[in-house]
Amino acid sequence: MEKQTADKSRTKTGPKRPMSAYNFFFKEEKTKWLNENKKGVMDDGQSGSRFKAMTNAVSSKWKTLSEEEKAPFVKMAEEAMKEYRKIKSAFNEKTLEDSKLLQSTRKRKSQEQPGSLETEIQQRHKAQPQQRSMFAASRHATSPSSPHVISSLGLNSGLQPQIVRPETALQFLPFLSTTHPQQSDPFSRLRFNNPQSVTMPPFLPGPSIHQPPVAPTMLQAPANTSQAALLLQLNALEQQTYRRQLIDNMQLLQTRQELELANRLRESNMLRQLLANRPSDAELLPSGSAVSVLEQILRNNTPTSPNNPENTRDNRQP
């Protein structure tokens, strides 16, 4: 079914296929049959049955023809096929030229479009810093924390809060630059007792009403949100790493303490066995050992111990 639809779509634009030998015979016999049967079958009013009868008659007659009788129709079909092939080859060449021309025009347009796009992007990047500076100046002039608003309110230096601005925001404010060492603090001029003695920075007006509005994509904050989020993630990872190292160190310290305690218990058990078997070897131990208390207790208990055979022997002698 798909092949038939594809062939139909091709024949709409391409040349029509030639007739076969049977088609030439059918065309010739059709006129003869219609002339012979003008009356009779037409009287019933059924065109379908009339056409069916005609096709049956022509096909049965074609089957009865010999090869010599079919030869003229076969020759006509071959000539029509040759003519069709010539027309088809010319049509294919023209179609190929048209497709090549279309591809070349598309390629040329695709090569021209990226250049114009790049120039437009460069123009937008050039206009972006100017719009950012205008936006920062207008925002500073209208913000309640600016020196204009503070001086107009007449606040005292003792009641003013210590406001700390990020360095990234100060970079976009030209009149708050830290060029002089005595003016390193941008709010040092607001710490006088007399608010009227504060030197006001030059007022930078915002964009006028007649100017075209700035696109929303250009009204961006000075600080980059993606960089800030990345810094927060890095700080969180560093804190997690520090906590893991701290936990590992605590576990290692606990393990060392347990090992030291086990060593001390083993030494005490060995010393206890030594003093129980041979009390005379206890004098070889250093006086500042960790089990000196146990040694003293065992020495004090050895005379009264009934399990020591030397003590019982000494007690039996007169």
User: In 3D, which of 275, 270, 266, 267 has the Cα closest to residue 307?
Assistant: 275
Q: Write down the pLDDT at residue 251.
A: 92
Confidence at residue 317, expressed as pLDDT on a 0 to 100 scale = 45
Q: Do 61 and 85 contact (CB within 8 A), yes or no? A: no
At 162-187, the pLDDT tens digits run 444 444 444 444 444 444 444 444 44
Neighbours of 173 (CB within 10 A): 19
Q: Which of 201, 190, 124 is nearest to 157 (CA)?
A: 190
Confidence of residue 50 (pLDDT cuts 50, 70, 90): confident
Most confident of 2-16, 155-169, 269-283: 269-283
Q: Are 62 and 22 in contact (CB under 8 A)?
A: yes
pLDDT of residue 3: 52
**Overall average pLDDT of the 148-174 stretch:** 45
Determine the Cα–Cα distance for residues 68 and 129; give it in Å rounded to an integer: 93
Higher pLDDT, 69 or 188: 69
Q: Report whether 206 contacts 142 (CB < 8 A).
A: yes
Distances from the Cα of 28 to the Cαs of 6, 56, 92, 311, in angstroms? 31, 15, 32, 151
Average pLDDT score over residue span 123-146: 55
Topology, domain 2-115: DNA Binding (I), subunit A (1.10.30)
Rg over CA atoms, the chain: 56
* pLDDT at residue 99, rounded to an integer: 86
Dihedral sign (CA 233, 235, 236, 242) = positive
Q: Which residue's entry shows tokens 């078997």? A: 277
